[in-house]
Amino acid sequence: MAPAIQFELSQPPTDAVSSLKFAPQSPTLLLVSSWDKHIYLYDTQDQEAGGKLIEKYEHRAPVLDVCFGADDNEAFTAGMDWQVKRINLTTGEQTVLSRHGAPVKSVVYSKEHSLLISASWDSTLHFHDLKDPEREPTTITLPAKPHSLSITASKLVVAMTSRLVHIYQLQAIAMLASHANGATAELAPWQTRESSLKFMTRAVACMPNDAGYATSSIEGRVAVEWFDPSTESQARKYAFKCHRQPDPEGDGTDIVYPVNALAFNPIHGTFASGGGDGVVALWDAVAKRRIRQYQKYPSSVAAVGFSNDGKYLAVGVCPGFENGQEDYTGEGATHVFIRELGETEAKGKGAKLF
C-alpha cells in the first residue's frame, strides 16, 4: 500500500477555516484563510514536525477566501471587510485591489488570462485585469448573492443563491476587463442554469479538463454537470446523495450534512467532497463511483484542496455552523490535515475500464 498517511499541521489557524489552497508551483506550499482574520502560509514538507508555518498575514476582518496568483509569491484574499487584497507572500505587502459593497465571498485567479475575479454578497463580480495593475476593476451585477466561484482554463462558474448558476467565458471577461475601466458593465453569461440540486448551493468546482463542474448543496448532495450544452451531454448530468448518516436515535431519519467543499484532483480528474459530517470522500465523476472515503475527521470539513501535482490533499476541519447556532466559534477546534495520497489513491477506477 502506498503511503496513505496524513498529518496535522501543528500550528493551525485559531478559528474556523474558510478556505485552503495549494500553491501553483510547489506541491508543499499551502495557504489557509481563516475567520481569525489571518491567512496562513505553510510549508507542508516536514511531516514529522506537522508542517511549518512560514508566515501569517493579518487582516482587518475574517478572511473568507484566498487564492494564489501568478506564482507562489502572490496571493489574493477575499475579506469580510469588503476588500479584495493582493498579498505579496515574500514581503507581506498588502494591496487593496478593489472594494465591494459587502463582504467578499470568493476570489479566483486565472493564470491563462491574468485575471482576478472576486465575488461579493453585494451580488457583484469584480474583474481585475492584472496585466495592467493600474486599471480599475470592472464590475458586473449578478442576479443573486454568489456563494462559490470556480474557474477552468476557459470558463468561470458562479454559483448563487436561489440555485442560480452562471457560466461565463473567460475570454469574454478578459475582453471586458481590458476595455472597460472601473465602470459597471454588462456581461451576459455564456450559460444560465438552475442548479440540479434542490437546496442552496454550497460549493462549486470545475473539472481540470474543462469539461464540466460539480456542485454541492447544504442538503448532502453533489451534482455533476457538463458544460457542453448539447442534449447528449446534458443527459449525462447526475446528482447523488452523500454526507448523510442515519440518525443515532434510530427512528429512520437521516441526518443530512451540508457538503461544504469540493475540489478536483488536477491529475486524475477525480474530486473530493468534504461534508459537515467530517467525512472526505473521493469520487470519480466520469465513472460515477466513489473511490474512497476517509475516516471521519473530528468535526465538519470546511475546505478541501489538492496540491498541483495531485499528491496531497489538504483538509480544513472546524466545527460546522449548524441550525440555530448562536455562539459559533471554531476556536481551538480547528485543524488542518494534509493527506499524502498514494500513487493510485485518487485515480478513478473507471479510467482503465473504459
Site for other proteins in 296-335 (CB under 8 A): 320-323, 325-329
Among 24, 30, 33, 35, binds other proteins (CB under 8 A): 35
- Residue 44 found at the interface with other proteins (CB under 8 A): no
**Interface region with other proteins, contact rule CB under 8 A, candidates 73-81, 149-157, 266-274, 309-317:** 73-81
Minimum distance from residue 227 beta carbon to other proteins (Å): 13
Using the 8-state DSSP alphabet, how is residue 161 labeled? G
Q: How far is the CB of 194 from other proteins (least distance, A)?
A: 4
96 binds other proteins (CB under 8 A): yes
Please say whether the beta carbons of 187 and 179 come within 8 A: no
Segment near other proteins (CB under 8 A), from 111-119, 176-184, 189-197, 266-274? 189-197
In this complex, which beta carbon is closest to other proteins, that of residue 110 or of residue 345?
Answer: 345
Does residue 294 bind other proteins (CB under 8 A)?
Answer: no
User: Given the rule CB under 8 A, which of 94-102, 168-176, 308-316, 340-348 is the region that contacts other proteins?
Assistant: 94-102
Contact assessment for residue 51 and residue 91, using Cβ atoms and an 8 Å cutoff: no
Q: Which pairing describes strands 184-185 and 138-141: parallel, antiparallel, or unpaired?
A: parallel
Please, which of residues 8-27 interact with other proteins by CB under 8 A? 11, 16, 18
Alpha-helical (H) ranges within the chain are: 170-179, 231-235
Measured at the CA of 59, the angle between CA 40 and CA 92, to 5 degrees, comes to: 60
Q: Closest Cα to residue 136, out of 188, 93, 84?
A: 84
CA distance 107 to 231: 32
Least Å distance between CB 288 and other proteins? Answer: 4
Our finding on whether 264 is near other proteins (CB under 8 A) is no
71 lies in the binding site for other proteins (CB under 8 A): no
According to CB under 8 A, which residues from 240 to 259 bind other proteins? 240-242, 244-247, 252-258
Contact between 128 and other proteins per CB under 8 A: no
Which of 21, 80, 76 lies closest to 316, judged by CA?
Answer: 21
Query: Shortest distance, CB of residue 309 to other proteins, whole angstroms?
Result: 27
CA distance 114 to 97: 14
From CA 20, how far away is CA 23, in angstroms rounded?
10
Q: Which amino acid is at 33?
A: S
